[in-house]
Chain A
Amino acid sequence: MIVDPLPVAWRFEAIGTAWRIDTREPLAPDVADAVTARIDRFDRDWSRFRPDSLVSRIATTPGPGRWTLPDDAPALLGFYRELYTATRGRVSPLVGRTLEALGYDAAYRLRAADDIPPVPAWDDAIAWDGTTLETVRPVLVDVGAAGKGYLVDLVSDLLTEAGVAQHIVDASGDLRTRGVPMRIALEHPLDPRKAVGVAELPDGAFCASATNRRAWGDGLHHVLDAATGMPVRGVLATWVIAPTALVADGLATALFVDPEGESPSRHGAHFARLFDDGRLESSADFPGEVFL
């Protein structure tokens, strides 16, 4: 049984998925407009699914490039760099072209090309000093591993600044709660009616990632191992509890490629993950329970 902890839910679709923002009172129109505008700005900067976005322009402008990135870039690309280093290049923001070739492109072609390009190594392809991105040649940035979680944080920050102290921002799989304790069922990736555990968080962020929905063919789905350029195998789903949704989302992706599962503890995060042989693993002191 699912019981909503707050009485008002605002539902909408944005950046290719379902959103809902739960509050005690309906949001004032200007606050709701600010939320919509913030999401749209992020989409115009970071979406590789729209041709007019910044990342699309970086990808299609010939020759070497120098690009001034928006003020939300340092936290996002900074954390990507951490994940890239921690996973020895297996989580990367440079998977865009490879994902496209596998069929996950702006037109949803959903067919793998014959020739799948490898993911370029970070230091061969780009230089990033915190403000300016330099590219050797056009490169398609894809922030799918952590971008949505980060946007959830940005929207939650906006609500807090607008005086909406208690709220839940849920972008379908990536969630941030402020002042509202949550019990979240860990959805079984092979049967959405079932849960493999329950996560409890008094405050903070929860992210779930699984290969079941954005999948389109034999072994083809949206979580890539940047080292091989192929969709990951072995892990079906991950769930992460962390202080921010940026960290939770990025770690949820990293846990698909990090066999040791070491990185979460460095960020004050807890996790559970389900392997394709049916094993369910959870970190020590996982808040909640897993059903073994």
Chain B
Amino acid sequence: MTTPRARLLAVAGLGLTAALAGCAATNAGGTPGTGSEPGGGIDPGADTSAEYTDGTYTAEGSYVAPSGPESITVEITLADDIVTAVTVTPHATSGNQAQFQSQFANGIAAVVQGKDIDTLAVSRVGGSSLTSGGFNQALEAIKAEALAG
């Protein structure tokens, strides 16, 4: 699972000149939407000590493509140091760059946030099979051994 931090790094990896800390907060006092919980996908080794002010941040990024200089706008929403929304606005209008930017924008938008099941009206929840007592006991034994070792 892509973590919020990893997503930020992925954005930076495109060659954006603006880092998060340097972004202008356009909505620092705003109320962000529902925040997603830090789930099991968070890298336990990652440094998550930094604190950011909640809000929506916008940055222009530019890079030099073979066809010339290009730019995109990236907007992210932070709530409790978690990225809750990312919007990438492509600026290229034609050719390969427009296609690449569009794919990149769609890829970011498709990163799933999920909704609290409590807020949905459903008749069942469908996930992987629940495991038996025997499997779970064996798994606990393995974990205990790993901790002791």
Give the residues from 91 to 144 in chain A that come closer than 8 angstroms, CB to CB, to chain B: 107-111
Contact of B123 with A216 in the complex, beta carbons under 8 Å? no
Closest to A180 in B: B123
Give the residues from 1 to 46 in chain B that come closer than 8 angstroms, CB to CB, to chain A: 1-2, 36-37, 39-41
**Dominant SS at the A interface?**
strand
With contacts A194-B115, A291-B114 taken as known, whether A209 is within 8 angstroms of B128 at the C-beta atoms is: yes
Contact of A210 with B110 in the complex, beta carbons under 8 Å? no
Contact of B129 with A183 in the complex, beta carbons under 8 Å? no
Interface centre among B2, B39, B114, B139 (most CB of A within 10 A): B114
Interface string of B132-144 (1 = CB under 8 A from A): 1011011100100
Size class of B's contact patch? Answer: 35 or more
Q: B residues within 8 A CB of A207? A: 126
| Other-chain residue from B107, B110, B126 in contact with A187 (beta carbon distance below 8 A) | B126
B65 within 8 A of A: no
Q: Nearest Cβ distance between residue B127 and chain A, in whole angstroms?
A: 3
Q: B residues within 8 A CB of A60? A: none
Give the residues from 176 to 214 in chain A that come closer than 8 angstroms, CB to CB, to chain B: 182-196, 198-199, 206-214
Closest to B113 in A: A291
Closest to A14 in B: B132
Interchain CA distance A189-B135 in the complex, whole Å: 18
With contacts A278-B111, A279-B111 taken as known, whether A3 is within 8 angstroms of B127 at the C-beta atoms is: no
Q: B residues within 8 A CB of A13? A: 132
With contacts A2-B124, A187-B125, A213-B129 taken as known, whether A278 is within 8 angstroms of B1 at the C-beta atoms is: yes
- Number of A interface residues at 8 Å Cβ cutoff, please give it: 62
Q: Nearest Cβ distance between residue A265 and chain B, in whole angstroms?
A: 21
Contact of B122 with A18 in the complex, beta carbons under 8 Å? no
| Other-chain residue from A171, A206, A217 in contact with B129 (beta carbon distance below 8 A) | A171
Interchain CA distance A199-B126 in the complex, whole Å: 9
Interchain CA distance A195-B126 in the complex, whole Å: 9
Contact of A192 with B139 in the complex, beta carbons under 8 Å? no
Contact of B138 with A108 in the complex, beta carbons under 8 Å? yes
B147 within 8 A of A: no
A175 within 8 A of B: yes
Interface string of B35-69 (1 = CB under 8 A from A): 01101110000000000000000000000000000
Closest to A207 in B: B126
Contact of A188 with B114 in the complex, beta carbons under 8 Å? yes
Contact of B118 with A190 in the complex, beta carbons under 8 Å? no
Contact of B110 with A3 in the complex, beta carbons under 8 Å? no
Interchain CA distance A210-B40 in the complex, whole Å: 14
Q: B residues within 8 A CB of A276? A: 1
Interchain CA distance A241-B36 in the complex, whole Å: 27
Q: Nearest Cβ distance between residue B76 and chain A, in whole angstroms?
A: 15
Interchain CA distance A16-B128 in the complex, whole Å: 13
Interface centre among B2, B37, B131 (most CB of A within 10 A): B131
Give the residues from 1 to 28 in chain A that come closer than 8 angstroms, CB to CB, to chain B: 1-5, 13, 16-18
Q: Nearest Cβ distance between residue B114 and chain A, in whole angstroms?
A: 4
Closest to A108 in B: B138
Q: A residues within 8 A CB of B120? A: 1, 185, 195, 198
With contacts A108-B138, A191-B37, A279-B110 taken as known, whether A3 is within 8 angstroms of B121 at the C-beta atoms is: yes
A193-B118, A194-B36, A210-B127 given; name 14 further pairs at CB < 8 Å. Answer: A1-B118, A3-B121, A16-B131, A16-B134, A17-B132, A108-B139, A173-B127, A184-B124, A185-B117, A195-B117, A208-B128, A279-B107, A280-B112, A291-B112
Q: Can you name 17 A-B pairs with beta carbons within 8 Å?
A: A17-B129, A107-B138, A108-B134, A173-B126, A173-B130, A188-B39, A188-B114, A190-B1, A194-B36, A195-B120, A196-B112, A196-B114, A206-B126, A212-B127, A213-B129, A278-B2, A291-B112
